[in-house]
Structure 1
Amino acid sequence: MLILGNGRVITRDPSAPYMESGAVAMDGRTIVKVGSTEELKKAYPDAEYIDAKRKVIMPAFINAHEHIYSSFARGLSINGYNPNGFLDILDGMWWTIDRNLTLEDTYLSAMATYVECIKNGVTTIFDHHASFGSIEGSLFEIEKAAKETGVRSCLCYEISDRDGKEKAKASVMENAEFIRHALKDESGMIAGMMGMHAQFTISDETMELAAANKPDEVGYHIHVAEGIEDLHHCLKHYGKRIVDRLMDWEILGEKTLLGHCIYINPHEMDLIKETGTMVVHNPESNMGNACGCPPTMELVHRGILTGLGTDGYTHDMMESFKVANVLHKHHLCDPNAAWGEVPQMLFENNAKIAERYFDQKLGVLKEGAAADVIVVNYDPLTPMNENNINGHLVFGVTGHDVVTTIANGKVLMKDRELTGIDEAKVMADCRQAAAALANRINSR
């Protein structure tokens, strides 16, 4: 039994959204009660107690679209890399990195990402992996890191024909093997999906192979219309728009997650809505790659389950919250845009997305929910109450303000110190591997 108390509690429970002074009691992987510190300490006198010291206690974050394999890109300079557009960015940077990753690189990239997730209060991720230099076993290396660090993870490998049919087949089989493995996992912390890069790098033959090897219990995780080139390719080669092609291949559905959806039209939105398909918005990545701004506000208004991700650009969900907030105001020339939609995406919809793959109630502090809780070092200088919580968070908090992270009832970080992980060794190993990767890339 663990009690986290003496804090300002943001519950995300509509029946009791905020407590000026409160506590959360956890037993194993589940929250058993939320109430006053005095009440919970009296009810559970033998429980371990962590004093939040009047900081903010709130549900941990969920990242609906990550890229672990991008970890070693930070500061990487590739000889001759001078992109003129999105396709140049993909081939010149990201595909160059993934073609040179070893299994050890994948494992260490995962460790680095999970460390950053914990330090930013993220306890659940949906990762979309690529390592065409070492495909077989790559998802199992990520799972190994996930279990060592304690971060709940839904994993997939991005199927693509870009490096030939044999590697496309190997990527399908890596997904299929891992999905079957994940479906047997009893920890409640691991899940799998059938990953796909994007329709413009996947032939009909490979689409058919993926469909034949996907268990019915899971869906697909695929980039959709991230760049205008993806749309142009689909129109030219298949005579239809992207979402129509996905519909024809029965890819859409309640278990499928579409990344980006920048260049989609109202007809495609109707298909996404009617099939219950999920969408994830990645604002910083879209801006950084100069891909454009998706019609995210319209997706939310249409009732399409739309979440928030980072695309590996950052591991700080508050950073994505801030950027999405201003991006859609700027894009729509409307200062009223995004105030309600983006918090809904981050704090409500990401949990709904995750609950389609994990068996616990996520993203809320209430009895019976997952014991995923963080403490944020924030002392409001203006009045804080249930009506202005999101305003305080978007303007006053970053992921680096997280001081304590609890996932599935396990303390992963306390007072900014990781527990059970030798962070210094992980970082040293990552620096060595990243240097070797850079040398391989630039000596080719």
Structure 2
Amino acid sequence: MRILIHGGTVITFGSPCRVLEGRAVLIEDGRIARIAPKEAIPGPFDRTLDATGKVVMPGLVNAHMHFYSTLVRGLGKAAPSANFQEVLDNLWWRLDRKLSLDDVDISAEVVLADAVRKGTTTLVDHHASPFAAAGSLDRIAGAVRRSGVRACLCYEVSDRDGQAVTDAGLEENAAFARRCASEKDPHLRALFGLHAAFTLTDATLDRAAVLGRDAGVGFHVHVAEAASDVAYNLQHHGLTSVARLAGHGLLGRGSIAAHCVHASEADQELLASTDTFVAHNPQSNLNNAVGIADVLGMVRRGVRVGLGTDAMTVNMLEEIRVAMWAQHLRQDNPTCAFMEIANTLFARNPELATQLWGFPLGTLEEGAAADVILVDYHPPTPLDGNTVLGHLVFGISQATVDTTLCAGRILMEGKVLCNGLDEAALAARSRELAVKLWDRF
């Protein structure tokens, strides 16, 4: 289809993030074919979208997500937890052991419908269902395809549930990576998932390293999320979490280290030297009381730091605001880190998505994927290249997404989903499965 978006203010993202007035965006065959004045783009068009009173932006990218956590919403059966390990023991590890493939499917579909509403069109997910591992990534992939967005999937390998479960997780990663390599579906990509160094033996890390390299994919792993992760690895292996993973060849340009809240200065240097991407998840870190990552320090040392949500939300503009305030508190400086935090979402996340998919994502430029959102916004102050990041953080973040496109397909228009997903029916099915899951829990 040839789709013309006109009348809005175009915000490109990237570095620098540009503001283009008086420009229309032409979409052809799932890519952005041209950005130019409307009168300079000849028709005919299959569709025209009037963006008057709106900003036209790239679809947002989430660098670390857990679709499977959907059915925990409102669950009150977990015992109170005094620290992060107890949060895992009392809630998350109890939950993931009880998940069925139907739970996995509906959890993803509900989240992905909401992602379309929030303008998040690319998500990097990290999945765990240890007693329903085989086929779980294919079920999530089916939900991704039905939603129309893009997702990079992996399975969370851990030794905490025994050898058979470990083997199943390793094979699930390898099988899905083979599928992605074979199908070359532009909506799906694979990484090799690992839980965290403190739940993995050296033997399992070595097996994962070989399988991941054979599959040609990087790794996605929780790193130094809590101080206890670092302490365990120092006590049992004489290395920090970062150093131990690096020693097994699991860090590097193709890998994502989620959290890194307790990465030391030496760890940060190692993350930088290996060019490992760090996914910062401030809302989750605050919720679990594990601390606030030193984003400013990591960026100064050359670490590529992006932004994830760890399933707290799919609203990336909400997450970036929390990241800003949290970094002010972490650095004890209310005016620091504005550019460093802004770049996590508007520059680094697009770089990550582009790296994973192999073609430009997360930016509005000719030749890039046509993942585009239209957001209601009348700027009350001048909106230009000098002020755009302030508008994104303090204004557009509070606005409503009107229209969402991914790969040139309109998934939501006029705030109504048009991708075939029935939100009410999904919610009803989710409630039905949640009751059964909670009984098992």
TM-score (norm 2): 0.96
Offset of residue 24 of structure 1: 1.0
1:77–1:15 distance in 2 versus 1, CA, 3 Å: closer
Q: Work out whether residues 283 and 322 of structure 2, in 8 Å CA contact, stay in contact via their aligned partners in 1.
A: yes
For the 8 Å contact 1:305–1:353, the answer to whether it is kept is no
- What's the offset of the Cα at 1:335? 2.1
CA-CA distance at 1:37 after TM superposition:
3.0
1:395-444, CA deviations, whole angstroms, 9 ceiling, x for partnerless residues? 11337611110001111111111112222211211121112211221xxx
1:379 and 1:246, CA in 2 relative to 1: closer, same or farther beyond 3 A?
same
Q: Which amino acid aligns with 2:117?
A: K
Describe the SS at the equivalent of 1:45. coil
CA apart distance, 1:14: 5.8
Q: Tell me the distance in 1 between the aligned counterparts of 2:126 and 2:215.
A: 19
Task: Find the counterpart in structure 1 of residue 434 from structure 2.
Answer: 434
Equivalent residues of 2:14, 2:346 under 8 A apart? no
Counterpart position of 1:32: 33
Which blocks of at least 5 consecutive residues in structure 2 are unaligned?
none
Secondary structure of residue in 1 paired with 2:206: helix
Displacement of 1:16 in angstroms is: 8.2
**C-alpha distance in 2 between matches for 1:127 and 1:347:** 19
* Cα distance in structure 2, aligned partners of 1:207 and 1:339: 37
Which is worse superposed, 44-53 or 238-247?
Answer: 44-53
Question: 2:166 corresponds to which residue?
Answer: 168
Match of 1:56 in 2: 55
Counterpart residue type for residue 436 of structure 1: K
Q: How many residues align?
A: 438
Instruction: Give the Å deviation of 1:213.
Output: 2.0
Amino acid at match of 2:109: M
Q: Is the 8 A contact 1:29 1:408 kept in 2?
A: yes
Contact 1:119 1:399 in 2 (8 A): no
Matched with 1:273 is 272
1:233 is aligned to 2:221: no
- Partner residue, 2:110: 112
Give the aligned residue type for 1:324. A
Post-superposition CA distance 1:277-306 (Å, at most 9, x none): 111100000000000011111111222111
In the TM superposition, residue 75 of structure 1 has moved relative to its aligned partner by 1.0
Partner-residue secondary structure (3-state), 1:26: strand
Aligned partners of 1:63 and 1:126 also within 8 Å: yes
Task: Confirm or deny: 8 A CA contact 2:294 2:330 kept in the other structure.
Answer: no
SS in 1 for 2:302: coil
The CA RMSD measured in Å over matched residues stands at 1.4
1:217 alignment partner in structure 2: 216
Moved more, 187-196 or 14-23: 14-23
Deviations 1:120-176 (A, max 9, x none): 101101000001131111011000001111111110011001111110111111111
- Alignment-derived partner of residue 389 in structure 1: 388
Q: Percent identity?
A: 38
Partner-residue secondary structure (3-state), 1:196: strand
Residue 351 of structure 1 and its aligned partner are, at CA, apart by: 1.0
Q: 1:399 to 1:99 in 2, by over 3 A?
A: farther
Which whole-Å deviations, capped at 9, do the CAs of 1:318-370 have from their partners, x for residues lacking one? Answer: 01110001111122111221210111110110011112210220121111011
Distance (whole Å) between structure 1 residues aligned to residue 34 and residue 398 of structure 2: 26
1:25-174 equivalences under 5 Å are: 25-40=26-41, 43-79=42-78, 81-174=79-172
Partner of 1:359: 358
Contact 1:160 1:198 in 2 (8 A): yes
More divergent stretch after superposition (184-193 vs 98-107): 184-193
Instruction: Please give the alpha-carbon distance, in whole angstroms, between the structure 1 residues aligned to 2:221 and 2:50.
Output: 42
Normalised by the length of structure 1, the TM-score is 0.96
Aligned to 1:22: 23
More divergent stretch after superposition (285-294 vs 240-249): 240-249
Give the equivalent residue in structure 1 for 2:11: 10
Output the CA distance in 2 between the equivalents of 1:428 and 1:108: 10
Q: Deviations over 1:14-43 (max 9, x none)?
A: 688112333211001100011223333xx1
1:161-193 deviation digits (Å, cap 9, x = unpaired) = 111111011111111111111111222211111
Of 176, 179, 183, the residue aligned with 1:178 is: 176
Spell out, residue by residue over 1:242-297, the C-alpha distance to the aligned partner (whole angstroms, 9 max, x if none).
Answer: 11111111111111100011111122122111111111100000000000011111
Change (3 A) 1:16 1:234: closer
Q: Does the CA-based 8 Å contact 1:7-1:53 persist in structure 2?
A: yes
Tell me the distance in 2 between the aligned counterparts of 1:8 and 1:366: 14
Question: Structure 1, residues 208-229: CA drift from partner, whole Å, max 9, x if none?
Answer: 2212322252111000000011
> Contact conserved, 2:62 with 2:308, CA < 8 A, in 1?
yes
2:126 counterpart letter in structure 1: H
Structure 1: gaps spanning 5 or more residues = none
Structure 1 residue identity aligned to 2:394: F
2:320 maps to a residue whose letter is F
SS of 2:164's equivalent in the other structure is helix
User: Contact (CA 8 Å) 2:251, 2:274: kept in 1 or not?
Assistant: yes
Residues 1:200 and 2:198 aligned together: yes
Q: Distance in 2 between matches of 1:437 and 1:326?
A: 36
Corresponding residue for residue 317 of structure 2: 318
- Amino acid aligned to 1:440: R
Q: Matched residues in 2 for 1:30 and 1:36: separation? A: 18
In structure 2, how many angstroms separate the alpha carbons of the residues matched to 1:198 and 1:14?
Answer: 32
After superposing on structure 2, the runs of 4+ consecutive aligned residues of structure 1 that deviate more than 6 Å are: none
**Separation in 1 of the partners of 2:183 and 2:137?**
14
1:46 Cα offset (Å): 3.0
Deviation for aligned residue 1:65 = 0.2
Distance 1:14 1:305, change over 3 A: closer
Equivalent residue number for residue 409 of structure 1? 408
SS where residue 23 of structure 2 aligns? strand
- 1:65–1:127 contact (8 Å) kept in structure 2: yes
Q: Is the 8 A contact 1:21 1:54 kept in 2?
A: no
Q: Is the 8 A contact 1:231 1:242 kept in 2?
A: yes
